[in-house]
Amino acid sequence: MRQLIAGNWKMNGKLADGAALAASLDAQAGDLACDLLICPPATLLATLAAQLSGSKIHVGAQDCHAKPSGAHTGDISAPMLRDAGAAWVILGHSERRADHGESDAVVLAKVLAAVAAGLAPIVCVGETEAQRLAGEQNTVVALQLTGSLPPDFAGVVAYEPVWAIGTGRTPSEADVAEMHAHIRATLVSHLGATGGGLRILYGGSVKPSNAAALMSLPEVGGALVGGASLVAADFLAIAHASDAVATGVRAG
């Protein structure tokens, strides 16, 4: 299975620096065995999608509204994102679940809207530190998956422990492997055979120094990268670590 290395730029980047970062990635990406995706802020989508048309770098959004249009001031719909050139959309990121009170039901409605508009969804799940300390991580993540994914889901899942996002801390390799096995089993029971083939990304403080170890774990199908995706050399180093896994060469 090709790994997916996705960059979540979050609320970072104006036109000039976003275009420069995209150009730098495009110039240096070369031949990669993984799929490479950037998810810039919505203000940059149309520009960067046009700039990268014909390139191997995919472009996606960070959220969408559940309705295709209407009286929703400040929101952006899935068809609008598609029209701007997005092919993917991140949904249910913990920052949206926390900052905007997004429940699993809201995320599910957004997944349906994204798919209807032709966007490939990346649905994020993950426990808080308190939940992990209480040993509740498997229950929490299973509930998020069954609540956020429709029975015919065919997109990507990203496991992002909330306490690992932007902190420089990551779970142990054993904990990542255990959670990814748990997510795989939950996907198979919720989605049937399709659940056996979906990519499960790991996200949370992925950087060049830990990417090779994380990407080579069983059931890890790529990475969702925040901070390190804003530096071309770091994001590409993570992509190359994924490539080394694909070709059986264990990188540094």
Evaluate whether 206 touches 238 at the Cβ level (below 8 Å). Answer: yes
d(CA 200, CA 219): 7
Decide if residue 224 touches ligand PGA (CB under 6 A).
Answer: yes
Decide if residue 37 touches ligand PGA (CB under 6 A).
Answer: no
Which one of the listed residues 58, 65, 93, 240 is annotated catalytic?
93
Contact pick of 126, 204, 208, 221 for ligand PGA (by CB under 6 A): 204
Contact pick of 30, 151, 166, 252 for ligand PGA (by CB under 6 A): 166
Decide if residue 92 touches ligand PGA (CB under 6 A).
Answer: no
Whether 160 is a known active-site residue: answer: yes
Q: How far is the CB of 224 from ligand PGA (least distance, A)?
A: 5
Decide if residue 227 touches ligand PGA (CB under 6 A).
Answer: yes
Whether 72 is a known active-site residue: answer: no
Decide if residue 171 touches ligand PGA (CB under 6 A).
Answer: no
Which residues neighbour 180 within 8 Å (Cβ) at sequence distance 6 or greater? Answer: 159, 200, 202, 217, 218, 219, 220
Query: For the stretch 5-44, what's the b/e string if a residue is b when 16 or more beta carbons lie within 10 angstroms of its beta carbon?
Result: bbbbbbebbeeeebbebbeebbeebeebebbbbbbbbbeb
Which one of the listed residues 95, 127, 160, 219 is annotated catalytic?
160
Residues taking part in catalysis:
93, 160
Give residues in contact with ligand PGA (CB under 6 A).
8, 160, 165-166, 203-206, 224-228
